[in-house]
Structure 1
Amino acid sequence: MADNNRAVVFENARDMRVESLAFPKLEMPNGKSAPHGVILRIVATNICGSDLHIYRGSFPVPQGMVMGHEMTGEVIEVGTDVERVKVGDLVSVPFNVACGRCRNCKARHTEICENENVNPAVACGAYGFNLGDWTGGQAEYLFVPYADFQLLRFPDRDQAMEKIRDLALLSDILPTAFHGLMEAGAKPGSTVYIAGAGPVGRCGAAAARLLGASCIIVGDYYQDRLDLMKNNGCETIDLSQDVPLTDQIEAILGEPMVDCAVDYVGLEAHGIGREAEDMNPAYALNQVIDATRPGGATGVIGVYGPDPLAKSKAEQEGTFPIDFGKAWIKSPRISAGQAPIMHYNRELMMAILWDRMPYLSDMLNTKIISLDETPDAYATFDTGVSDKFIIDPHSLVPA
């Protein structure tokens, strides 16, 4: 067994580095023994759009933190209390760290686990995100607690490796995208507006197709991202055009609003047209609320929180101006927060394994990279390219 663990660490804003760290132990961040945990050899670990908030400095984390929260791996060591997960199993790791024992976990709200061993500061734990001091998974190896509860085991290893580019999305962005649509009430025949054609927004478009949505409209500033969506059956809106969003929706649908709208952007949003040059943390949020029809619903999946890069003191502290007065008359339903990955990941795994989402890889434009290529990939991803970067630390992903 290896005696060290190479990993991507946060040095400073826009400065990621690959360093050699100690091999993980079956031990919680607070030092408690974790016989309920396992050690994984990482097979695939992705760069997420949420990681870019950290990379840019919008989401503060401690120097030296190991990055990453989208992991798929092979079990190489199990704790004495682990009964259902075996050495050799290929598994997906939900990015939410959850105990399976508290009130919220028992209600399948694993995104807000209340166990103080997961996070003593707030009811939310996550790998590589300064939420409970959990080591991230952009590494060769990873410790995962509460393994019998947490891990999603793929039923057939060979089949899983053939579809690993798609299955690697189950740890976060595909269930997260699906959750946004569920919160927005998407169903067969729904008209849907998706704010943002980054990887999670593109997963949202793929999930909307799986759900049988009728017109799927995606808005973004990057033409290559919009081209990916257009080539996969979506309508697109170029947000750099100086035309109100609702007017552009009306040009497509014949009416200025949709049944369901989802904000997949978060606090690093920009405006439309001439306003697009300036960052406006609440822009995408207000945009999707405005684009949702009366009686419809809005999902807010993009990350919001205190933003040290914001212009105003209120926004730096996490208080954003929401156009609630204008929206109130529409009887709005607005749901926000992290996704409970375990609420959806098994069903989405089965959809992938049975080829119900054959367009997923085309929409995501996945690109396999090595661990050493990761710092440069962060810089490239930050330019708005249409790639979804999947890190392969052990050269295990088939060409």
Structure 2
Amino acid sequence: MTSNRAVVYQGPGVVEVVDTAYPTFELKDGPGVNPANVGRKVPHGVILRTVTTNICGSDQHMVRGRTTAPVGLILGHEITGEVVEVGPDVEVLQVGDIVSVPFNIACGRCRNCKTGKTGICLNVNPDRPGSAYGYVDMGGWVGGQAEYVLVPYADWNALKFPDRDQALEKILDLTMLSDIFPTGFHGAVTAGVGVGSTVYVAGAGPVGLAAAASAQLLGAAVVVVGDLNEDRLKQARSFGCETIDVGAGSVPEQLVALLGVPEVDAAIDAVGFEARSQGHGADAAEAPATVLNALMQATAAGGAIGIPGLYVTDDPGAVDLAAKVGALSLGLGTGWAKSLSFTTGQCPVMKYNRQLMMAILHDRVQIAKAVNATPIPLEDAPRGYSEFDAGAATKYVLNPNGYLPH
């Protein structure tokens, strides 16, 4: 039998690369697998030899111990791979195809999937709508930071690249289609970004940078990115964004210096529940609602806020009892008085990934350059997690099977 290696969560702050089982067309019991999914047959699936699989900020929340993720969970929901086996019910995909896999798993059959709400599929997670690979409380589908991975409902979920050679040539861009590029784009779309918009993006991590690049692709007049990390702000400036250091003063005050007014047309929260208050070092205390409240202040009346940043219902490391169950102290009165719109939740990747693929293939966007995509071997995943957690302005791309040069 073919061997397999995977990145596994071993407790707060610890990930290891270990030997693991080669995937089969049936969900087996294991860390994080929902008991109701054990034994679930997957004749509609394919097995991929992983071409690229990326380290995501959402993975970091688990690795920091900020979720109820169990020890032994195989991580990874950003997957691009080559089909090496097809299940008996697969009709379209063939061995040798290279595909992008949306991080949210969808059946293509339920009411939500049929209306394009693939981030909240009703059939893949027994506990709640929505599912993902290698993620806590998401049904127990095995993660893709591995040499091989199973993809269910593959004809529906997988996006096939039209030309193998072209795909491998642009793979550092195309690997972003599994999550952060559509997620950032979703944030920009739901914030109402269009031609001539002024946009503020909170957070200069990979999703924030992807949101900024997406806003530019949508025709924004100016994109301002805010963060506490100067290296990440420098990365935002590298592709034409304005930046503000949120530790140097309030967002509205700094917007005045850049735009002449204290508000923008559209705002995007690319930070999520581990947000920190204005200030640096010891002064930058965790304040999970601070970004959302700042965005309500900084968004013009009648505007919209896209919220691709992750918020959770169970955070054992939260700063207070309310935040431990996802209850945040929001200034909703400000949002109501200004008639602001809010969009939250998982990005429905399939709504955008084909269009963004075409933008990449026809050189309309350079998303890998925007997020500073850097390939590393699978065995270097612990280093990638550590450096990313320390604030590296880098999107680490794991290369389990040698498709990419290092």
TM-score for the superposition, normalised by structure 1 = 0.97
Mapped pair 1:389 → 2:376: no
| Whole-angstrom distance in 1 between the partners of 2:58 and 2:272 | 9
| Whole-angstrom distance in 2 between the partners of 1:339 and 1:174 | 10
Tell me if structure 1 keeps the 8 A contact 2:117–2:348: yes
| Whole-angstrom distance in 2 between the partners of 1:104 and 1:263 | 25
Give the aligned residue type for 1:231. Answer: S
Aligned to 1:201: 208
Give the aligned residue type for 1:137. Answer: G
| Whole-angstrom distance in 1 between the partners of 2:357 and 2:67 | 30
Aligned to 1:191: 198
Tell me if structure 2 keeps the 8 A contact 1:54–1:61: yes
Mapped pair 1:316 → 2:302: no
| Whole-angstrom distance in 1 between the partners of 2:375 and 2:17 | 17
Residues 144-168 of structure 1 deviation map (CA, whole Å, 9 limit, x = unaligned): 0000100000000000000000000
Extract unaligned runs of 5+ from structure 2: 28-36
Aligned to 1:244: 250
Residues 59-84 of structure 1 deviation map (CA, whole Å, 9 limit, x = unaligned): 22111010010000000000111001
| Whole-angstrom distance in 1 between the partners of 2:61 and 2:183 | 17
Extract unaligned runs of 5+ from structure 1: none
Q: What secondary structure sits across from 1:77 in the alignment?
A: strand
Aligned to 1:123: 129
Aligned pairs (5 A) from 1:130-149: 130=136, 131-149=138-156
1:222 Cα deviation from its structure 2 partner: 1.1
Give the aligned residue type for 2:129. Answer: A
Mapped pair 1:226 → 2:233: yes
Q: For this pair of structures, how many residues does the alignment match?
A: 394
Tell me if structure 2 keeps the 8 A contact 1:195–1:262: yes
1:362 Cα deviation from its structure 2 partner: 2.2
1:276 Cα deviation from its structure 2 partner: 4.9
Greater displacement, 136-145 / 324-333: 324-333
Mapped pair 1:67 → 2:75: yes
Give the aligned residue type for 1:245. Answer: V
Q: 2:360 aligns with which of 349, 352, 357?
A: 352
Aligned to 1:10: 9
Aligned to 2:339: 331
1:57 Cα deviation from its structure 2 partner: 1.1
1:205 Cα deviation from its structure 2 partner: 1.1
Mapped pair 1:259 → 2:268: no
Aligned to 1:210: 217
Q: 2:180 aligns with which of 152, 173, 181?
A: 173
Q: 2:285 aligns with which of 275, 278, 287?
A: 278
Q: 1:33 aligns with which of 35, 41, 58?
A: 41
1:33 Cα deviation from its structure 2 partner: 1.8
Aligned to 1:371: 378
| Whole-angstrom distance in 2 between the partners of 1:61 and 1:231 | 36
1:285 Cα deviation from its structure 2 partner: 1.5
Aligned to 1:307: 315
Aligned to 2:114: 106
Tell me if structure 1 keeps the 8 A contact 2:296–2:334: no
| Whole-angstrom distance in 2 between the partners of 1:53 and 1:99 | 26
Greater displacement, 304-313 / 5-14: 304-313
Tell me if structure 1 keeps the 8 A contact 2:176–2:368: no
Q: 2:296 aligns with which of 279, 289, 294?
A: 289
Pairwise CA RMSD: 1.1
| Whole-angstrom distance in 2 between the partners of 1:104 and 1:204 | 25
Greater displacement, 318-327 / 269-278: 269-278
| Whole-angstrom distance in 2 between the partners of 1:112 and 1:368 | 31
1:361 Cα deviation from its structure 2 partner: 2.5
Aligned to 2:164: 157
Give the aligned residue type for 1:17. Answer: E
Give aligned-pair identity as a percent: 51
Give the aligned residue type for 1:316. Answer: K
Give the aligned residue type for 1:340. Answer: P
Greater displacement, 273-282 / 78-87: 273-282
| Whole-angstrom distance in 2 between the partners of 1:39 and 1:319 | 39
